[in-house]
Amino acid sequence: MTKREHLEEAIGVLFKNVAFLEEALTHRSYLNEHPSWKRSHNERLEFLGDAVLELAITEFLFEKFPHDDEGRLTGIRAALVNYQMLAAVAEDIRLGDFLHLSKGEALASLGPQSGAAGRAREVILANAFEALIGAVYLDRGYETARKTVNALVASRLEEVMVNKLYKDPKSALQETLQERRKITPTYRVLSESGPDHAKEFEVGVFAGDEKLAEGKGPSKQEAETAAAERALAHFS
């Protein structure tokens, strides 16, 4: 089985025009090293796929929750289509194994990473997944694209609801702790590193004296959010 066939099997779609798939898998950086490459980079397909993905998820949620208001549906949709979730979906289908990247970009973004490099990796994977959905739409039409989105993305709805990912992680953690322990979480900066223009903060979230989790980020706010997300996982 070829690499293309492995990916097609993972997403449940056989492409009629392989050119769409090859374009979806081509990162802009690859063209810098391979100017003779016969495909364009995937950013136009990413633009298209983003719209297809959002429509498919909107339809799914509209039917799934007939009595929920716009605000709640918007929050759930945002949790399903944010770049972290799409990157996780891309990881599940091993999309990174099929991408055409420059050597430098592959080394920097698709190896085991944390911090800024880890976020860059997630963005590349999420963008490529959107491009893949755009390619499916062009090749097989909206109905096939919708089924693909439902199988790979909408199927994560339970994870979103159980972990309250449709809410801001800090708010969700506060609500969970107040319900279960009658206590409000607190956050403390554990360390700072890096120059002023590229700081990395490590923050701990505590329930009283108990440290629930740690998180890192380029700002205190992002580090707190990361810590809250990790803490929520303990209560799922």
DSSP summary character for residue 225: H
Cα–Cα distance between 92 and 46 in angstroms, integer?
A: 19
CB–CB of 158/236 below 8 Å? no
Cα–Cα distance between 222 and 187 in angstroms, integer?
A: 12
Closest CA to 226 of 214, 235, 209, 208: 214
| Centroid of chain to Cα 19 | 25
CB–CB of 170/225 below 8 Å? yes
Question: Residues in the chain, how many?
Answer: 236
Cα–Cα distance between 130 and 165 in angstroms, integer?
A: 20
Query: Residues with catalytic annotation?
Result: 50, 130
